[in-house]
Amino acid sequence: MKHTFIRVITVDILDHYSLRLHFDNDTVREINLEPVLYGELYEPLRDHDFFRQVTVDAEAGTIVWPNGADFDPDLLFAWDEHVKAFAKQMRKAEHACNH
């Protein structure tokens, strides 16, 4: 069975840590990243000016920021299915780092 890799081709910046992602299979998803913006890599994205610096890395097929923060395009595509577990994991890791 051949696995087709999902790729982000464009991104639109919305309000409140939300993005509209256009995928290469003609799917468009709106996602809110706020629940997962914890930790050394993702915390800087809470700065709205920095968050707005998101771009698409055409080679990787995903969104990236100047500090190297990025997300797996498959995770972004299925965001609604995984965001709660991912957010819980990020908060748990942040809590462990602070103790």
Tokens of 25: 């299979």
pLDDT attached to residue 10: 98
pTM metric for this prediction: 0.85
Q: What is the pLDDT of residue 85?
A: 84
The H-assigned helical ranges of 1-99 are: 39-42, 48-51, 73-77, 79-97
Nearest to 25 by CA among 1, 6, 10: 6
Residue 54's φ and ψ, nearest 5 degrees, are -60, 140
Q: Is the pLDDT of residue 44 over 70?
A: yes
Percent of the chain topping pLDDT 70: 89
CATH number of 8-97: 3.30.2020.10
Domain spans in the chain, listed from the N-terminal domain onward:
8-97
